[in-house]
Structure formats: structure tokens, C-alpha cells
């Protein structure tokens, strides 16, 4: 097995272990949006959040909003077909200034508020549980390349922090 195949297998295994598959599917929605809609709709609209199956999209142009609403069901069906699961169940289109950023929100839960790091306000001081760290380390035991191992460790810890 090549390094690429080993890495692919390892990532798939870790995704299942850490239950990251739903989050990855949600992120694919944002990646597929512009590609699926093409020009001009894909360039004049921006998906900004996905929460409980509702994809919120901003556009500055009323005709784009009208066209999205007209093709709403077809868009939902095609996005979900591409994802292989029913991830997006509703489309909410708002007339607002378009920006490039997006966020993913999950169902309301008893989430712990994270503290802002005073040295860098954009980052937070979130803790990864020792159990998750142990699972991450166990999943990395078969990776022999130290640079890949280090990068994967950072990626998995970051993903675990996002779930915290």
C-alpha cells in the first residue's frame, strides 16, 4: 500500500472514530455551492451558514433571490444527491451584503463557552479531553512519516477542539 493509500485509509478511519463525517458533509455544501450553481448565481450568492439542515444564503441582488426561490427544490435535491445524503433540507435566502466567510452551526446543545485567548483574540483556549488525545495518538501509530504525523495530529486536535 502506498503512503497516499495509507493516509486515505487512516483519515477515513479517524473520521469515523471521531464522528467527523457529518461535519465534513456540511463543509462540502459550501464547496459545492459555487461549482453547482455556476455563473451568475454561484458568484452573486454566498452560503453563510448551515444549521439543522437549513442553508442560509446571502445575495445582494433581488433577481438572484427570486431565481433561487424558484429553483429551491431542484437545488436541494441536486446538492443532496451530490453529497449522497440529505444534509440540506431547507434553503433560506436573505438580501444582504455578500461576504466570503461562512460558518457551520449545529443543533442547540449544552455547548461550553470557550474563552478568548487574550494574546490572540481570534483563537480560543479549548481543551481536548485526554480520551480524545489518546484516540488521536492511537490512530497515528501506523504513520511513519514524522511531518505527516505532526500535521495530522494538529488537524485532528483542531477538529476535536471544534467539536468541544
88 has a pLDDT exceeding 90: yes
Over residues 154-164, mean pLDDT: 70
Could you say which DSSP state residue 98 is in?
-
Higher pLDDT, residue 116 or 84: 84
Q: Does domain 1-109 have CATH number 3.40.630?
A: no
Domain residue limits, the chain:
1-109, 111-164
Whole-number Å distance between alpha carbons of 11 and 155: 11
Rounded to the nearest integer, the mean pLDDT of the chain is 77
Nearest to 136 by CA among 27, 10, 24, 21: 10
- Residue % of the chain over a pLDDT of 90: 24
- When mean pLDDT is compared over 38-42, 48-52, 151-155, the highest value belongs to 48-52
Q: What percent of the chain has pLDDT over 70?
A: 78
Whether residue 138 is predicted with pLDDT greater than 80 in this model: the reply is no
Per-residue model confidence as pLDDT tens digits over 11-48: 878 877 887 777 787 888 888 898 888 888 888 999 99
**Segment 56-84 mean pLDDT:** 93
pLDDT level of residue 154 (50, 70, 90 thresholds) = confident
pLDDT of residue 12: 79
Name residue, grid cell 433560506.
92
The pLDDT score that the predictor gives to residue 163 is 60
**Cut 0.85: pTM above it:** no
Give 94's strand partners. Answer: 58
Amino acid at each position: 500500500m502506498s503512503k497516499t493509500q495509507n493516509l486515505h485509509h487512516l483519515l477515513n478511519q479517524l473520521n469515523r472514530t471521531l464522528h467527523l463525517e457529518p461535519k465534513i458533509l456540511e463543509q462540502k455544501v459550501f464547496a459545492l455551492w459555487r461549482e453547482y450553481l455556476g455563473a451568475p448565481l454561484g458568484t452573486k450568492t454566498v452560503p453563510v451558514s448551515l444549521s439543522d439542515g437549513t442553508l442560509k444564503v446571502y445575495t445582494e441582488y433581488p433577481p438572484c433571490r427570486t431565481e433561487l426561490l424558484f429553483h429551491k427544490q431542484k437545488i436541494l435535491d441536486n446538492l443532496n444527491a451530490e453529497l449522497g445524503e440529505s444534509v440540506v433540507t431547507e434553503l433560506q435566502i436573505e438580501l444582504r451584503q455578500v461576504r466570503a466567510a461562512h460558518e457551520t452551526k449545529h443543533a442547540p446543545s449544552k455547548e461550553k463557552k470557550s474563552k478568548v485567548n487574550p494574546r490572540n483574540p481570534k483563537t480560543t483556549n479549548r481543551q481536548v479531553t485526554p480520551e480524545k488525545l489518546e484516540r488521536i495518538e492511537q490512530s497515528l501509530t501506523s504513520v511513519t512519516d514524522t511531518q505527516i504525523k505532526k500535521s495530522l495530529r494538529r488537524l485532528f486536535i483542531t477538529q476535536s477542539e471544534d467539536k468541544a
